[in-house]
Amino acid sequence: MSSESKPKKGKSSLAKRRALFSWLIPLANLRITLALLSFSMVLIFVATLEQVEIGIRGAQAKYFESLLGIWHYPEQFWGGEFLNPVPIPIPGGWLLGGLLIINLTAAYVTRFQWTVKKFGIQLIHLGIIMLLVGQLVTQAIQEESRMQINKGESSNYIERFHGVELALTDVTDPSRETVVSIPQELLEKGGSISSGDLPFEVTVKSFGPNCDFDAVSSKDQREGSSKEVDQGVGHSANLSIKPKSEDYSSEAMNFGHLVFELSDETGSLGTWLALAHPAGNHWWKESPKLADLAFQPIRHKGKLWGVTLRAKREYLPYSIELLGIANEFYQGTETPFNFESDIMIKMEGNETRRALVYMNTPLRHDGKTFYQFQMNNAADYTVFQVIRNPSWLVPYLACIIVSIGLLWQFGFHLVRFLRKNSLQKA
Amino acid sequence: MKKHSPIRLGILIALTLLGAWVCFFPNSFGTASLFDFAKDPPVPPADSFDLDGFSRIPVLRGGRVKPIDSVARNTLLVLRNKRTALDADEEKVPALEWFVRVLFAPDQADQLKTFLIDHDQVLGLMGKKLASDGKHFSYAELEPHLAEIESSAREAGQLEQEERDSFQQNVIELYRGLLLYRKLKNTLTPPPVPSESSDMLDEIGVAEVFFDPDKDSDRTAEYKRFRVLTGVIAEQPSLIEMGSSEFAKVVFFLDHYSRANMWSEFFPIPPEANDPLEKWLAVGQSLVGEEPLDSQEKRNMDPRAFISTLRELVALSPDELRKRITAIRETQKMNPTALFASQYAEAIKLRREVDPIIGLYEKLGISYRANDFATFNATVAHLRELATERAGEAGSTLHFEKAYNGFEPFYRSSLAYVLVFIIACCSWLAATYSNSVGKSDSTAKMLRDTAYVLTGIVLLSHTFGLFGRMYIEGRPPVTNLYSSALFIGWGAVLLCFATEKYLRLGVASAMGSFIGAGSLVIAYNLSLDSSLNPTGDTMEMMRAVLDSNFWLATHVVIITIGYSTTFLAGFLGIAYVFYHLKSALFGKSEGKLKKTLESMIFGITCFSLLFSLVGTVLGGIWADQSWGRFWGWDAKENGALLIVIWNALLLHARFSGIAKTRGLAAIAIFGNVVTAWSWFGTNMLGVGLHSYGFMDKAFNYLMAFILSQLAIIALAYFPAFVKMLIKLASKLISSPPPNETRT
């Protein structure tokens, strides 16, 4: 009896809600849902194909993190030469995700029956809303960095995979360093930058996220803005740069470049070239001529400054020491079965904690997660991928909610099915 | 089932027994039957070689300890896509007989047709024609063309895999095959020293150390003489200097045996008693250890420092030396001088014996060539016992694996699935016939019951095959693309079996057996794909990130069930389309079957959504654990998401009433396209973190499959389209011409 009275109650509350939010009814239409789902299929398919051309990061930026992406039919496919020039608009992830959330929410209010019997359906859709919102939030705020540590050494900073900064370090006093860093956004804006901590003004002559560079034999052969360089490595190694657009593919090597002039009240001090190495500026040390790109010394009024364009850095309130690494392969194959870093986290106040980081077992510490990313057994260093994603828990919660919803709904069906079967047998 | 008449019951039982015979009993479909798993290995014959015993000797290849039987089958599968070679008279030579000749009588093996070459341009490279020369060749026939093959393969190797044309791909495969064959020949017998250095041999006086077939009983004599040489130096470290003839000889053989390691296709020598890492060894490794760096690095050594370090190391006591070697390999990874000195010191001071396993293999070879059955068989027994004992825990599955190899559970199952499909189709014919003449459909009923019972029997053999793999590997059922095909078929058949229990229509049996047979055929072709499976062993080791039984058992298994249920719904959709066509063709209205099929498609899609959603979400959690993000828009992830969305779309289309039976069937059939894309298509892109199963050959098959599905969807709308045309035409005819209406 009670099971019959409940649905009615649910239905009457539904009628009330429909009356109250009648303007939402058209938005909750299932046909809209079907259309949005179909467009999502197209979006995902096209974006997957595009990964071949522009890489995952490129496809993500162009399709998933946009309102509308323009797609061209691949030239190498059948009929590609005729179809390729036609621009095809593909609704993007922000658009479809947003519309799906609106559609679902409207359905919640104006169509779902808030009853025990349909409770599972509601939970499932709630979980899906959470997954969608969680993904939108994650894409907006997640930060990816890397941390390289040599065996026996410690590191207390992480570097972003993308984005650079100009760092000016006062190293006059060997016991303490003062770093002034100018973020990429300011460099992109251009013009002159000054700060109270800097005795000189930085004027951006040219900046770009990627370039080809080459050592030429004389100053005349240099191209573009590198012609103006008259100080530092750019001058001594006669570097010529050719700006390129940023490569978004996963194996991309983007060399950020900056030509800048320093000046103080007496006038110009000269023009420098700085290049950022995509795998970290310590790699410049591999080639003797360019080694200084990691740290170009500038003497100014009795002080020694070092200047470098480097991956954007974040200093941590703790440091990590690499005690050892293990890189093991199945015998007689090139298939690895273990990458493992043995580390010691040194926190403030001499507190330490030892940890093993290996495949499928990251280290979570202080809101960041450290994953085993790369490793060089011969050179004895390890690289962690470091991710800060405050919303990492959301998908887990969403999964639990969806699972409960599914179990609820299937449990209902199963009970009904068994009851029906036993009735038939009786 | 009790209701059948005696004759029909007899046919049912006979067909069931036929199925059981195909699946489990001794027959020509496999060299072993179910009974062989329980039986002890056979007693060695007195009047022939005990190849069965030989095939059970454990070795390590591809990172896994396995019986020689598996190595023989898998390598021949790579070379010839078959488990047999051919002799000069085109008679089949079983893998094991071929293998024993490759190892012990290479001159005979060179004459056997071992290589499959079916690409006309590769044949043309050697001046051969498919029509006159055939496609099976022996090593002896290919040997004169090695130089051309190698240079073409090297040229092709310069290109990225995606840019190679079919000739380049095929010539690379042939070159790899030749290399594999040569490595097999040299695994137990180190390759001879290149002839151009024979002057040097005389100069340093090593000729008398080498194996001399006239004087020595076997190669261990050479190895023992080498040990005597190193023994002298181990006693007198001062002999280690430039210009010392003793030292020069030792250096020569150290290099010679180290080089031999590169020519070893598998590791025949089980772990030594004191080795904590339980490493298996090649012959060269057992003699002189392993080169710590690439041989090229020897150029970067400092000769003086090398001599002094080595002298110092050899002077240490064995225990101290062991510690020093460990320390050097740990701390001086970039120092070739110290590293090579550590290998030399190990070979000189620590490796004092010749491993008895080497002697036993030598004895096997000599008795084989002498046709001495008694010695061969006694040595096999001795070697097997010793090697199995030293293999320890890893040797526990050898007996099972040997029987499993011969049992061929998936080949047998695929044949039995075909039988089930035929019986189910016959049941429909019988039903149509009895319907049209108005008789009772008891024959159709009997056939449907037979198909149902038989499905159960094949399912047992399919399940046994899956569990056998799990037992040998110690892994969950799905570990690579090959096993995913086995599992998708299995899941679909299991669901069909359960459906058929309640709805005895023959539809689920037919579709289940069709998917079952199809997936096993796909699996067989995947096992032949050398880009997926370079060793020929489908039970390969898993790379680090996949090496997690928990996630393999949850995410991979669940997502694979999602694939299989989506396929099942799609094939039920196809069944409906044909039913729809039949009804339209005979002008009958669609009966109860229509509603039944619709609710089956709906019910199974509910399952698909559940499994694909849960599987995808679990994949997200795994990705968060290992790559640091829940979702990264990776190609394989996107593929899984497509399946989830498509299943959700089907369910919502039904809830909203937008799609009726035909619409649902069409959506379900398109689900086949989506699933095939997610399963194979994403691997063909060659991008993303999941591309562990890259493949390019199957592209055309995938396209053909997609086109066939689209064609079936079009067929679903064909009757309606024709009806519409007729209506339109009749309207045009019946409506009076426009100018007449005016008047």
Burial class (CB in 10 A: 0-12, 13-18, 19+), B567: buried
Tokens standing for B558?
């669940």
pLDDT mean over B447-473: 94
Q: Where are the domains of chain A?
A: 2-117, 158-315
Per-residue confidence (pLDDT) for residue A253, from 0 to 100: 82
The pLDDT of residue B102: 96
A69 - beta bridge partners? A90
Residues of chain A numbered 70-99 and touching chain B (CB < 8 Å): none
- Percent of chain B exceeding pLDDT 90 equals 49
**CA separation for the pair A155, A143 (Å, rounded):** 19
**What is the Cα–Cα distance from B496 to B487, expressed in whole angstroms?**
14
Dihedral of CA A9/A14/A15/A21: which sign?
positive
Nearest CA in chain A to B620: A395
* pLDDT band at residue B66 using 50, 70 and 90 as cut-offs: very high
Taking residues B392-407, report their average pLDDT: 91
Q: Nearest CA to CA, how far is B696 from chain A (Å)?
A: 14
Q: Determine contact: B341 vs chain A, CB below 8 A.
A: no
Query: Among residues 416-455 of chain B, which lie with CB inside 8 Å of chain A?
Result: none
**Cβ of residue A13 closer than 8 Å to a chain B Cβ:** no
Closest partner residue to B625 among A38, A362, A410, by Cβ? A362
3-state secondary structure B581-593: HHHHHCCCCCCHH
- pLDDT computed for residue B242 by the predictor: 82
Chain centroid to Cα A218, Å, comes to 40
**A417 close contact with B: CB closer than 8 A:** no
Q: What is the pLDDT of residues B464-522, one digit of tens each?
A: 999 999 999 888 888 888 999 999 999 999 999 998 988 888 889 999 999 999 999 99
The C-alpha torsion from B149 through B153 and B156 to B158, rounded to 10°, is -140
Structure tokens at B218: 């076997």
CB B515 within 8 A of CB B37: no
The pair of structure tokens assigned to B172 is 């690379």
State the nearest Cα–Cα gap between B333 and chain A, in angstroms: 5
Interface test with A, best of B339, B501, B537, B629 (most A CBs within 10 A): B629
Q: Do B280 and A362 touch (CB under 8 A)?
A: no
The 3-state DSSP class for residue A174 equals coil
> Residue B595: which H helix or E strand, with range?
helix B592-626
Residue B739 CA to residue B725 CA, distance in Å, equals: 24
Q: Which two tokens stand for residue B443?
A: 């024959």
Closest CB to A48: pick one of B620, B621, B682: B682
- B610/B559 Cα distance (integer angstroms): 10
CB contact under 8 Å between B548 and A359, yes or no, is yes
Confidence of residue A425 (pLDDT cuts 50, 70, 90): low
What is residue A46's three-state secondary structure? helix
Highest mean pLDDT among A139-153, A249-263, B160-174, B376-390: B376-390
In chain B, residues 615-644 whose CB comes closer than 8 Å to chain A = 617, 620-622, 624-635, 638-639, 641-642
pTM over 0.80: yes
- To the nearest whole angstrom, how far is the Cα of A16 from the nearest Cα of chain B? 22
Q: What's residue A40's pLDDT?
A: 95
Tokens linked to B525:
């072709």
Minimum mean pLDDT range among A296-305, B531-540, B684-693:
B684-693
Tell if the CB–CB gap between B638 and A49 is shorter than 8 Å.
no
Min Cα distance A423 → chain B (Å) is: 15
Task: Quickly state the pLDDT bin for A4 (edges 50, 70, 90).
Answer: very low
> What's the pLDDT tens digit per position in A88-106?
999 999 899 899 999 988 9
For residue A45, which of A108, A95, A77, A90 has the smallest C-alpha distance? A90
Q: Percentages helix, strand, coil for chain B, rounded to the nearest 5? A: 70, 5, 25
Nearest residue to A402 via CA among B631, B556, B565, B614: B614
What pLDDT does B532 receive? 74
How far apart are the CA of B668 and the nearest CA of chain A, in angstroms? 14
The mean pLDDT value of chain B amounts to 88
What's the confidence (pLDDT) of residue B680?
83
What is the Cα–Cα distance from A171 to A300, expressed in whole angstroms? Answer: 12
> Do residue A51 and residue B658 have CB atoms under 8 angstroms apart?
no
The strand pairing partners of A355, in sequence order, are A343
Write out chain A residues lying below 8 Å of B75, CB-based. Answer: none
Question: What secondary structure does DSSP assign to A288-310, as a single string?
Answer: GGGGGGG-EEEEETTEEEEEEEE
pLDDT of residue B196: 65
| CA separation for the pair B631, B637 (Å, rounded) | 8
Instruction: Indicate which of A39, A150, A330 best probes the interface with B, i.e. most B CBs within 10 Å of its own CB.
Output: A330
Q: Say whether residue A201 is in contact with chain B using an 8 A CB cutoff.
A: no
**Two tokens at B241?**
């200097």
**pLDDT, position B640:** 92
Provide the percentage of residues in chain B whose pLDDT is more than 70.
Answer: 95
Has residue B104 got a pLDDT over 50?
yes
What pLDDT is attached to residue B682? Answer: 79
Check A392 against B648: CB less than 8 A apart: no
Q: Count Cα neighbours of B736 within 13 Å in the Cβ-side half-sphere.
A: 5
Position with higher pLDDT, B572 vs B624: B572
* DSSP secondary structure letters along B544-561: GGG--HHHIIIIIHHHHH
| Mean pLDDT of all residues in B16-26 | 92
Question: Would you say B688 and B682 are in contact if contact means Cβ atoms under 8 Å apart?
Answer: yes
- Weakest mean pLDDT among A1-10, A68-77, B381-390: A1-10
**Is the reported ipTM for this assembly greater than 0.85?**
no
Interface A-B: count of C-beta contacts within 8 A: 150
Among candidate residues B177, B193, B358, B183, the one with its CA nearest the CA of residue B263 = B183
Which of the four pLDDT bands, split at 50, 70 and 90, describes residue A267?
confident
Nearest CA in chain B to A407: B610
Residue A3 above 50 pLDDT?
no
Nearest to A335 by CA among B626, B543, B548, B61: B543
DSSP classification of residue B272: P
A318-327, A393-402, B687-696, range with the lowest pLDDT: B687-696
pLDDT of residue B687: 54
Does the distance separating the beta carbons of A387 and B621 come in below 8 Å? no
Q: Token pair 């194979």 is at which residue?
A: B680
CB crowding B177-212: b at 16 or more within 10 Å, else e: bbebbbbbbbbbbbeebeeeeeeeeeeeebeebbbe
In chain B, the residue whose alpha carbon lies closest to the alpha carbon of A145 is B628
Instruction: Compute the average pLDDT of residues A365-383.
Output: 87
For the residues A366-378, what does the mean pLDDT come to?
A: 86
3-state secondary structure of B734: helix
Residue in chain A lying closest to B627 (CA): A371
Residue of B nearest to A368 (CA): B628
- Residue B613 touches chain A, beta carbons under 8 Å: yes
User: Which pLDDT belongs to residue B692?
Assistant: 41
The one-letter code for the residue type at B133 is D
Whether A150 contacts chain B with CB within 8 A: no
Q: Are B571 and B491 in contact, with CB atoms under 8 Å apart?
A: no
Question: What pLDDT, in 10s, does the model give residues B613-637?
Answer: 889 988 888 888 877 778 888 888 8
pLDDT (mean) for B289-308: 86
Chain B (548-567) residues lying within 8 Å, Cβ to Cβ, of chain A: 548, 551
Residue A254 pLDDT greater than 90, yes or no: no
pLDDT band at B697 (very low <50, low <70, confident <90, very high): low
Q: Does position A9 have pLDDT exceeding 60, yes or no? A: no
The mean pLDDT of A350-370, rounded to a whole number, is: 88
pLDDT higher than 70, residue A290: yes
Mean pLDDT (whole number) for B331-356: 89
The C-alpha atoms of residue A257 and residue A243 are separated, in whole angstroms, by 8
Say whether residue B462 is in contact with chain A using an 8 A CB cutoff: no
Give which of B633, B646, B651, B658 to mutate to test A binding, by max A Cβ within 10 Å. B633
Minimal C-alpha gap between A411 and chain B (Å): 13
The mean pLDDT value of chain A amounts to 85
The answer to whether the Cβ–Cβ distance between A371 and B626 falls below 8 Å is yes
**Which residue, chain included where needed, has tokens 């995808």?**
B616
From CA B32, how far away is CA B67, in angstroms rounded? 15
Residue B690 has pLDDT above 60, yes or no: no
Identity of the residue in B60, B625, B687 whose CB atom sits nearest the CB atom of A51: B687
Chain B residues with CB under 8 Å of A403 CB are 614
- The predicted pLDDT at position B162 comes to 66
Contact A402, A127 (CB under 8 A): yes
Check residue B153 and give its pLDDT: 92
A178/chain B closest Cα distance in angstroms: 33
CB B463 within 8 A of CB B516: no
- Give the residue among B607, B709, B633 at the shortest CA–CA distance from B665: B709
Query: In this predicted model, which residue has the larger pLDDT, B18 or B294?
Result: B18
* Element at B683 (helix H, strand E): helix B682-685
**How many angstroms away from the CA of B588 is the closest CA of chain A?**
31
Ranking A298-302, B47-51, B411-415 by mean pLDDT, the lowest is A298-302
Q: Provide the 3-class DSSP secondary structure of residue A27.
A: helix
- If phi > 0 it is left, if psi is from -120 to 50 it is alpha, else beta; for residue B186 that is alpha
From chain B, pick out residues whose CB is under 8 angstroms from the CB of A379.
333-334
- pLDDT given at position A424: 60
Q: What is the pLDDT of residue A2?
A: 37
What's residue B570's pLDDT?
A: 95
Is residue B715's pLDDT more than 60? yes
Q: Across the strands, what pairs with A212? A: A242
Identify the bridge partners of residue A204 per DSSP, sorted by sequence position: A191, A260
Strands A363-365 and B58-61 come out as: unpaired
Collapse the DSSP code of A339 into the 3-class scheme (helix H, G, I; strand E, B; otherwise coil) and give the result.
Answer: strand
Q: Is the pLDDT of residue B591 over 80?
A: no
Instruction: Please answer yes or no on whether B682 and A362 come within 8 Å at the CB atom.
Output: no
Q: What number is the average pLDDT over the span B231-235?
A: 89
Task: Identify from A60, A133, A335 which residue to disrupt to test chain B contact, counting B C-beta atoms within 10 A and taking the largest count.
Answer: A335
Q: How far is A214 from chain B (nearest CA, A)?
A: 26
Share of chain A above pLDDT 90, in %: 17
Residues B516, B528: Cα–Cα separation, whole Å: 19
- pLDDT of B737 reads 55
Nearest CA in chain A to B263: A332
CA B334 from centroid of its chain's CA atoms = 37
pLDDT band at B743 (very low <50, low <70, confident <90, very high): very low
- Facing B62 at nearest CB: one of A31, A333, A380: A333
Instruction: State whether A369 and B628 contact (CB < 8 Å).
Output: yes
Flag whether pLDDT at A182 surpasses 70. yes
- By Cβ distance, the residue of B61, B613, B649 closest to A34 is B649
Mutate to test the interface with B, among A48, A111, A158, A161 (most CBs of B within 10 A): A48
pLDDT digits (tens, 9 = 90+) for A112-126: 877 888 888 889 889
Most confident option among B27-41, B459-473, B691-705: B459-473
